Amino acid sequence: MAMLFLSTCFLFLISMHLTESSGGVFELKVHSFTTTSGVCNPSTDCQIFFRVCLKHSQDNISPEPPCTYGTGLTGIFSADQNSISNSAPISVPFNFKWPGTVSLIIEAWNAEFSSEQSTENLNNMISRQATKRRLAIGDDWSQDEHIGEQSQMRFSYRVVCAEFYHGEDCSDFCRPRDDTFGHFNCDAAGKRICLHGWNGEYCAKPICSPGCSEEHGYCDAPGECKCRLGWQEPLCDECLRYPGCLHGTCGQPWQCTCMEGWGGLFCNQDLNFCTNHKPCRNEATCTNTGQGSYTCTCKPGFSGTNCEIETNECDSNPCKNGGSCNDLVNDYSCTCPQGFYGKNCEISAMTCSDKPCFNGGTCLEKETGGYSCLCPPSYMGSNCEKKIDRCSSDPCANRGHCHDLGHTLMCRCHQGFKGPRCEINIDDCARDPCQNAGTCVDGINDYTCTCTLGFKGKNCNVRADACSIVPCVNGGTCYTHFSGPVCQCPSGFMGTRCEYKEKPTPVAIPPFPAALAVSFTLGLITLTLVICAAIVVMRQMRRGQKVASTTVRNDLETVNNRASLTPLGLKEKEALFIPGGPYKVSNKDVALSSTVVDTHSSDKSNYKQKMMDYNLTIDEKHTNNKLDLNNSESTLLVPPLNYSKEGLYHPVYIIPEHIEQCVFATEV
């Protein structure tokens, strides 16, 4: 009993151990196996197989089951050494932390049948070897040899972790992944190695772009930098200003702190135009004049509203005698030709004896010193060194050719133009070339005639059929109209010349409205339910009438047949026919002939009773038709006033004459 309890506790601990997330496989390969007495009977075809049993560590290894860490079998093969050495390894998978030290039991069995690996018959066991080993996790095979008294076995074994399991006991799980739950690979020790752009314990946190603000930015993928509300890209380190803020800054989102010189809610009011805009150029002095206006005081040599225009002192041609002017800031300088000097090259160092005039110019001596040249018509300059080219300005219009004649120029015009500068277009319509009321349009050395209906040609002098000019196509019939040719198109064509095919207009079949279909269906269902309800109600009413008729008849029978109200214990129905009883029957229109009078009543009360009964009989004559039931008479009977006062109610009876003898009673 104690052994059973210990085994149960041990199996519970093993099952708890197996629930941990671990896994691997134990592999054993048999290389050779021999026995002193031979493996099998030589007279038979010997078939064997091997069995491996892994148990928890035991000092005294018990071969009895269970194999707590697992068991495995080889296939069935021949007992020769070649088949044994070529046999497949035995694999014993496990899904728990590898304990390291185990009890290893290796058994050799004789197979009774070639297709069955049975270990029930212990007589078929060839040998059993039990040993205690410490097996470390690794891919390398450990060689071992077991020599017993009757057998010898060489084998190798190893323990490897299952896929995605690592560590000394195959308990470290690491599976490479690249999805929402992580982005990493695994090293040999089972540690996660994050993919590029990811970090964190499970490599699920993306690494944002360099410089992205950790406080105001985030990213959903590596290299991104998405800004939180109120901050702007690219690095989410700049806040967003208040919408509409023009000249302001912000320290926090939605602020608008105005810069110097600006004011207002949106910092759009310029308080210092000169400071903010610096409109004056070239070191001019700016003066604020209010309302966003200013004045620039320019330095010498500059002009304009913003002093942006530099004054060109050479525009006045200050240099004389062919000197070249060089513009300077608020000044100029002249590069004088040979023989001249001075600020403006106005002083000549040459005389007419030096023959300074070119191109036939005449030299004249000046009284103040120096000379001057009188140039011929085609030259100019202080020394007549420049030839006058009158055609350089392209004076001839409309591509006319210019010819310089010395004193003047001449323009040779293209056809269609005339005038000193070829500026006049010759009107080719002046001679009215268009005939038959045609309209002339002038061109360049040409004209165009727009002919009236029925004429054609350059000058509209050729009579033409309008329909031949614009013929109808696709079988259309042409008619001449004052506005031009008109085409009557055959069926299927259209256009001014019947050049287009008519597209057939599809007949649109309106779809059946879905709302109408639903309404019709609901109405039909409602009508069906109403009819069914009416049938049920009618059946209930008929059934209720039958039940009510039977109930009333039975109740009246019970009431009218009470024995307690009649003397001598008779029913009420029978008491009606007893003379002198407390009930009166009157089924005919006659005066009351009998009345029961209480002996203790006075004469006056008897008189009143008789008058009431008489009046009641008179009223019956007028209401006879109203109380007629199936052409039968009925009489309303009122009990006498001297009816027993012990009861709180007085019965009134209606007795039909020509129906069955039933008494209807009503209590009032």
pLDDT, tens digit (0-9, with 9 covering 90-100), for 200-227: 888 999 999 999 998 999 999 999 999 9
Nearest to 30 by CA among 119, 127, 114: 127
Q: Residue 533: which residues within 8 A CB-CB, separation 6 or more?
A: none
Nearest Cα to Cα of residue 33 among 85, 68, 70:
85
List the one residue out of 365, 390, 346, 408 whose CA is nearest residue 374.
365
Cα–Cα distance for residue pair 368/365, rounded to 1 Å: 9
Q: Averaged over 234-254, what is the pLDDT?
A: 91
Amino acid at 279: P
The answer on pLDDT for 656 being more than 50 is no
Q: Give pLDDT, residue 291.
A: 64
Write down how long the chain is. Answer: 668
Torsion angle, alpha carbons of 464, 466, 469, 473, to 10: -140
State the pLDDT at residue 554: 53
What residues contact 607, with CB distance under 8 A and at least 6 apart? none
Which one, of 181, 225, 187, lies nearest residue 201 by Cα? Answer: 181
Within 8 A by CB and 6+ apart from 542, the residues are: none
CATH topology of domain 324-387: Laminin (2.10.25)
Residue pLDDT, tens place only, 172-201: 888 899 998 899 999 878 888 999 999 988
In whole angstroms, give the CA distance from residue 73 to residue 108. 10
> Which residues, in sequence order, are bridge partners of residue 183?
178
Could you tell me which residues come within 8 angstroms of residue 528 by beta carbon, excluding any fewer than 6 positions away?
A: none
Q: Which H or E run contains 255?
A: none
* Rg of the chain taking only CA atoms, in angstroms: 68
Element (H, E) at 99: none
Lowest mean pLDDT among 33-47, 350-364, 549-563: 549-563
Q: How many CA atoms lie within 13 A of 641 on its CB side?
A: 14
| Distance, CA of 564 to CA of 562 (rounded, Å) | 6
Q: What is the pLDDT of residue 250?
A: 92
pLDDT digits (tens, 9 = 90+) for 588-630: 444 333 333 343 434 444 544 545 554 544 444 444 444 343 4
For residues 135-149, give the mean pLDDT: 86
Do residues 88 and 153 lie in contact, with contact meaning Cβ atoms separated by under 8 Å? no
Cβ atoms of 337 and 323 closer than 8 Å = yes
Q: Kindly state the DSSP code that residue 562 receives in the 8-state scheme.
A: -
CB 39 within 8 Å of CB 79: yes
Take residue 505 and report the two structure tokens written for it.
């207009």
Q: Give the tens place of pLDDT for each residue, 308-322.
A: 888 888 888 889 878
- Give 344 or 37, the one with higher predicted confidence: 344
Amino acid at 550: T
How confident is the model at residue 233, as a pLDDT? Answer: 82
Q: Which residues contact 236 (CB under 8 A, 6 or more apart)?
A: 212, 213, 216, 217, 225, 226, 227, 228
Residues in contact with 398: Cβ distance below 8 Å, sequence separation at least 6, in sequence order:
413, 414, 417, 422, 423, 425
> Options 2.30.110.10, 2.60.40.3510, 1.10.3720.10, 3.90.1150.10; which CATH number does 21-173 get?
2.60.40.3510
Q: What is the largest CA-CA distance in the chain?
A: 198
User: Cα–Cα distance between 208 and 227 in angstroms, integer?
Assistant: 11
Confidence of residue 666 (pLDDT cuts 50, 70, 90): very low
Share of the chain above pLDDT 90, in %: 19
The whole-number pLDDT of residue 509 equals 59
| pLDDT in the model for residue 413 | 92
pLDDT at site 353: 81
According to the model, what pLDDT value does residue 550 have?
Answer: 58
- 133 has pLDDT over 80: yes
H-helix segments, 226-377? 273-277
Coil, strand or helix at 539: helix
Neighbours of 519 (CB within 10 A): 11
Look over the chain and give the mean of its residue pLDDT values, rounded to a whole number.
77
Q: What does the pLDDT read at residue 152? A: 85
Q: Are 654 and 635 in contact (CB under 8 A)?
A: yes
Residue linked to tokens 């007279």: 43
User: At a CB cut-off of 8 Å and minimum separation 6, what does 288 contact?
Assistant: 272, 273, 274, 294
Domain boundaries, the chain: 21-173, 324-387
**Range list of H helices, 486-602:** 514-560, 572-575
- In this predicted structure, the answer to whether residue 439 has a pLDDT above a threshold of 90 is yes
pLDDT number for residue 231 = 93
- Is the entire prediction scored with pTM above 0.85? no
Q: What are the start-end ranges of the E strands in 569-628? A: none
